[in-house]
């Protein structure tokens, strides 16, 4: 039972495809069982897509391809009829002509600069020429196959655009943590969550994330999600616009605080990464990679085009947004206690967290004024929203507590809150 419980829930695409196939069969019955519903159903399978814009492109390709394939299929059938009347028809010649005309069909899509429709054109052409029954008029057969496909495309278009009546809350800002809130145990976003987040964003949801990670890590963890609004990164030390690739706000340490902190860390014999923003670039400085965990992190992250690692003993204390120390867990705990015992430790915000490297932990040190809540206030002012709803896994810290990221809980809750079902939203039943 536990295994059945963990099975993924079927997405909308599956249900919409089922409904569309049923409708194609219903149209077939209403037409007096004329035509072949198989071709309408095949068009449905190709046209039902996760995103409306994707479906529009696939439908256009399917219609163009159908028309090209139908015209050339009709021409071949007429050519073969002429050969039959002249007494030159043989199975070998039939197959030879099909292969030759297939090349013409593909080349024709190149001439018309619609190469993306080549596959559909060839499929329709072969359906008409290979399955054509000799006792049926070529004109009627070609028309019926075209009509069957157009019916499937039309049904898919309607089913893909019809939704329950909803009232989108476009004046509400939705902000979610990432780790245990959106991502599953494998630290990956599920296909369902990715599709739904993009759809909600396209429909006007003001959704973004707040995380302790850098914008570079956000891009990696939420790859494929088209975040349209600024994200809160580095635990509130920076506000970053993913579209313009611009830091809208940063909260660096003062020079005095940065020098004092760097001097103390060096006295303790610890290696560290100094994270700063220079000319809208994330710059990560270090002097030495003093342990295997630092070496592993450096090897994993340095290839990103959104991170700039600089090995230099100079400028380690310039414009620091946060200092990252990575080492064995017991050593990190010891150094954290020592740091917190210093009389000036109140000038900093000190955060210890487990590392992805087994047996290790991280110590991130920010200016004391840095927090996600403080940066959220700036984001609200920037976006001029009337209401904010936060999602996270820590009770008492967020408006909506997501106990588990499994089964797309966060995205489903976001969907429920952004577009609640209501008869007042009857105008939104058909999406453009």
Per-residue pLDDT of 41-70, as tens digits, reads 888 887 777 666 666 777 777 788 888 988
Q: For all residues of the chain together, what is the average pLDDT?
A: 86
Q: How remote is the C-alpha of 139 from its chain's centroid?
A: 45
Any residues with CB less than 8 A from the CB of 352 and at least 6 apart, and which? 332, 333, 336, 361, 362, 363
Residue 372 is predicted with a pLDDT of 94
Gap between the Cα atoms of 39 and 31, Å rounded: 15
Residue 406 per-residue DSSP state: G
Is 421's pLDDT higher than 80?
no
Q: How far is CA 76 from CA 99, 118, 147, in A?
A: 11, 18, 19
Closest CA to 157 of 20, 29, 35, 37: 20
Q: Which residue's entry shows tokens 């007429």?
A: 78
Is 291's pLDDT higher than 90?
yes
Average pLDDT over residues 162-176: 82
The confidence band for 226, taking pLDDT boundaries of 50, 70 and 90, is very high
Helix axes 409-418, 191-202, angle to 10 degrees: 20
> Which segments of 49-139 are extended strands (E)?
none
Q: Report helix, strand or coil for 240.
A: strand
Is 101's pLDDT higher than 70?
yes
Closest CA to 291 of 359, 227, 205, 239: 359
The confidence band for 126, taking pLDDT boundaries of 50, 70 and 90, is confident
Gap between the Cα atoms of 12 and 198, Å rounded: 14
Give the pTM: 0.74
């Amino acid at each position: 039972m536990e295994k059945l419980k963990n099975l993924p829930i079927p997405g909308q695409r599956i249900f919409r495809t089922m409904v569309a196939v049923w409708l194609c069969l219903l149209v077939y019955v209403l037409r007096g069982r004329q035509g072949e519903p198989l071709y309408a159903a095949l068009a449905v399978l190709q046209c039902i897509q996760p995103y409306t814009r994707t479906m529009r492109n696939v439908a256009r390709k399917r219609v163009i391809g159908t028309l090209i394939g139908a015209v050339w299929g009709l021409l071949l059938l007429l050519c073969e009829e002429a050969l039959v009347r002249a007494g030159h028809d043989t199975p070998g010649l039939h197959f030879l002509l099909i292969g030759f005309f297939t090349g013409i069909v593909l080349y024709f899509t190149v001439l018309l600069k619609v190469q993306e429709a080549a596959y559909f054109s060839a499929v329709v052409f072969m359906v008409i020429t290979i399955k054509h029954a000799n006792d049926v008029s070529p004109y009627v057969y070609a028309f019926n196959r075209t009509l069957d496909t157009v019916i499937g495309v039309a049904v898919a278009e309607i089913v893909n655009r019809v939704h329950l009546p909803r009232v989108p809350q476009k004046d509400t800002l939705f902000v979610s943590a990432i780790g245990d809130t959106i991502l599953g145990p494998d630290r990956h976003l599920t296909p369902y969550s990715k599709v739904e987040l993009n759809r909600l964003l396209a429909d006007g949801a003001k959704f973004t994330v707040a995380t302790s990670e850098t914008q570079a890590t956000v891009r990696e963890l939420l790859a494929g999600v088209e975040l349209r609004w600024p994200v809160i990164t580095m635990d509130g030390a920076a506000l970053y616009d993913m579209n313009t690739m611009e830091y809208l706000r940063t909260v660096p340490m003062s020079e005095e605080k940065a020098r004092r902190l760097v001097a103390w860390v060096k006295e303790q014999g610890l290696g560290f990464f100094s994270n700063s923003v220079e000319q809208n670039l994330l710059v990560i400085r270090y002097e030495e990679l003093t342990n295997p965990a630092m070496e592993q992190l450096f090897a994993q992250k340095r290839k990103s085009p959104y991170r700039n690692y600089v090995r230099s003993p100079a400028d380690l204390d310039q414009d620091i947004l946060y200092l990252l120390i990575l080492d064995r867990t017991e050593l990190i705990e010891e150094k954290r206690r020592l740091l917190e015992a210093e009389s000036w430790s109140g000038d900093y915000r000190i955060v210890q967290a487990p590392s992805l490297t087994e047996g290790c932990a991280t110590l991130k040190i920010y200016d004391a004024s840095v927090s996600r809540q403080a940066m959220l206030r700036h984001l609200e002012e920037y976006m001029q929203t009337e209401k904010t709803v936060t999602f996270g896994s820590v009770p008492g810290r967020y408006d909506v507590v997501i106990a588990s990221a499994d089964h797309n809980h966060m995205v489903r809750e976001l969907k429920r809150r952004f577009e609640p079902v209501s008869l007042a939203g009857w105008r939104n039943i058909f999406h453009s």
